[in-house]
Structure 1
Amino acid sequence: MLSRVSRYRHCRLSRAGLALTTALFAAGCSGDMAPPGDLLAIEPSAPVILSEPVAPAMTSAPLAPAMFADVSDSAVPNSPDAPMQNVLAYPVSDGVDARQMTSALPESGGDQPIVTGIGTDNPQLVTASGYPSSSGSDGSLQNDRTENAQVQVAGLMPRVTDPMNAPQWAGGMPASEKACRNRLKRLGVTFRDLPAINSGKGCSIPYPIEVTELSGGIEIKPAAKLNCQITDAFAQWVKNELAPAARLRYLSGVSSIRQLSSYSCRTMNSKRGAPMSEHASGNAIDVGKITLNNGQAIAVRKPGFFSFREKSLLKTIRHDSCKYFTTVLGPGSDIHHKDHFHFDLRTRKAGYRHCD
């Protein structure tokens, strides 16, 4: 009996402790205590996600109202994802001002293609200036920009190198030729370089020049084709000997010199079988007449008995010229030189000069 009473009391104490625990738990919570069945019926709420702020819409470039005639029939995008700047990528209706559309482009250089007449039998490519270009016979669009374009062909031309400045290994002149031309410039000689002359065996001038005028404005008529060395010697002789001798005897300077032969591909005295003449290498010049500033002309020939001044001048020419040339021939030398002086720079053994 006592054991049953003990178990009964223990059970009541356990129930009382459980009730006290439940009451304390409920007292710690705010609000009324919900029944256990209601607690099981509560569903968890979904988490709240804050949305990001909407990006501002892109503003389109100001366009003329006339540009978008019949916009209800066209599929022109107008949203932040497809701004109005891209409108030129779509067909446009007739009457659109191409210049206004081109100016609406960002970074527009006035050179963007615009197609009008889409959906018709006559599509046209409008240039930046608003003028339609021509279309080909096959209906394809062609641009006439090449009509006013300048064709650049300089890149296809061979580059010409100044032979005076280029070294010899690069196609330039030897140092001796360059030095000779510098002497001619200091003497006041007017000349120009010519392409190399090669007319066959024994007839050539590697670096020819064409002489038109000597120091003091003395003209060479006609222009003489020579090598530089004979030109140098001739120019020095005219300046140092001929011009002073003429002023001394005629009180007048020299105006012009008539040359009868410079470069000529022939043998000596034009005889068959004879050695090649110095004229064949541009190393000789023949003088037939000297004209003074006062208009008097002195022909190179055997002077008359009473032509004292002419005789004295021709004798001085023959004597002084031998200091500049290795060969001097003139009237009285032979039948071939009765009417002119022959000057050349022929090289002989032991430096021999032939002045006759």
Structure 2
Amino acid sequence: MRSTIMILCFIALGVALQKGVIEVPRHWAPWAPLYVDDPITPITQLKLKRLNDNRQACLAALDTVPESELRYTPLADYAPTDSCPLSNVVRMQSSSVRFNQSFVATCPLALAWVMYERHALQPAAEEIMGSRVAQVNHVGSFACRNVYGRESGRRSEHATAEALDVTGFQFESGQRVTLLNHWEDDGDVGEFLRAARDGACDTFGNVLGPDYNAAHADHFHLGMRGFRLCR
């Protein structure tokens, strides 16, 4: 009896949605386009994953960033090495931050970064540090290798440009912060780094940092695989 009632409720809900009786906000609707400034919800990561094989929709989402606040170049699919072909990729030059160097990223990774920056990173910087992030320092996104550089095993997210390794931040105030030197800080800097880590979990599939293992003692690994793996 209970299962019958539930089925009828779902049918009624579906009819109401179809006829527009109930209007679902865009950021809660899995079928709606993704806009970078829409509020982050549990649906956001699902939308990002659906863009893996939809270059046009992903680029359209990137283009919802206000003009002049993002510089990127769409790239044709190519293979830097025979064993690591790249598809649906862009080159990120700058956003609301400078990067110490441009980097190649899958379009969903670039989109996840921009959303993270706007919804979590910059708000945390302003609230905790009293200054916006001016530059993000990283050690790259693409490397044709297995996890941890092992000779065998599964391919790293870096082999498909689905992850970015961030080592530190420079603020508009001039202050520089690195994970290697400041993760254990018990003041504002440490609080900011932990907030930066936690905020990334809402858009990236996996976020690994110094608390995960020694291999990540000096950087945040921000990757697209998985769902809210936050360590």
Q: TM-score, normalised by structure 2?
A: 0.71
Distance 1:309 1:274 in 2: 40
Structure 1 residue 353, shift from structure 2 partner: 3.3
Classify 1:305/1:323 alpha carbon distance in 2 versus 1 (closer, same or farther; 3 Å). Answer: closer
Asked if 1:212 corresponds to 2:93, the answer is: yes
Give the SS at the match of 2:109: helix
Answer with 1 or 2: which has the greater Rg: 1
Change (3 A) 1:346 1:271: same
C-alpha contact 2:138 2:166 (8 A) present in aligned 1: yes
Q: Within 5 Å, which residues of 2 pair with 1:68-147? A: none
For 1:204 and 1:255, how far apart are their aligned partners in 2? Answer: 32
Q: For residues 277-296 of structure 1, what are the structure 2 equivalents within 5 Å?
A: 277-296=156-175
Q: Secondary structure at the match of 1:256?
A: strand
* Contact in 1 for aligned 2:129/2:189 (Cα 8 Å): no
- Where does residue 42 of structure 2 map in the other structure? none
Identify the residue that residue 330 of structure 1 maps to in structure 2. Answer: 209
Are residues 1:344 and 2:223 paired? yes
Q: In structure 2, how many angstroms separate the alpha carbons of the residues matched to 1:333 and 1:290?
A: 20
The answer to whether 1:268 aligns with 2:150 is no
Q: SS at the partner of 1:346? A: coil
The alignment partner of 1:266 has SS state of coil
Q: 2:77 aligns with which of 179, 192, 196?
A: 196
Does residue 27 of structure 2 align to residue 184 of structure 1?
Answer: no
Number of residue pairs matched by the alignment: 176
Counterparts of residues 220-235 of structure 1 (less than 5 Å): 220-235=99-114
Equivalent residues in 2 for 1:156-171, closer than 5 Å: none
Distance between the aligned counterparts of 2:192 and 2:181, measured in 1?
12
* Distance change (3 Å), C-alpha of 1:175 and 1:195: closer
Instruction: Name the % identity.
Output: 23
- In 2, distance between residues paired with 1:345 and 1:272? 23
Compared CA separation, residues 306 and 317, structure 1 to 2 (3 A): closer
The SS at the match of 1:331 is: coil
Q: 2:55 and 2:102 mapped to 1: Cα distance?
A: 20
Answer 1 or 2: which has greater strand percent. 2
Which structure's relative contact order is higher, taking Cα pairs within 8 Å and 6+ residues apart?
2
Tell me, yes or no, if the aligned pair for 1:298 and 1:310 is still in contact at 8 Å. Answer: yes
Candidates 312, 317, 320, aligned match of 2:199: 320
Return the letter of the residue paired with 1:200: D
Structure 1 residue matching 2:113: 3-state secondary structure: helix
For structure 1, the residue ranges without an aligned partner over 5 or more in a row are: 1-173
Partner of 1:254: 133
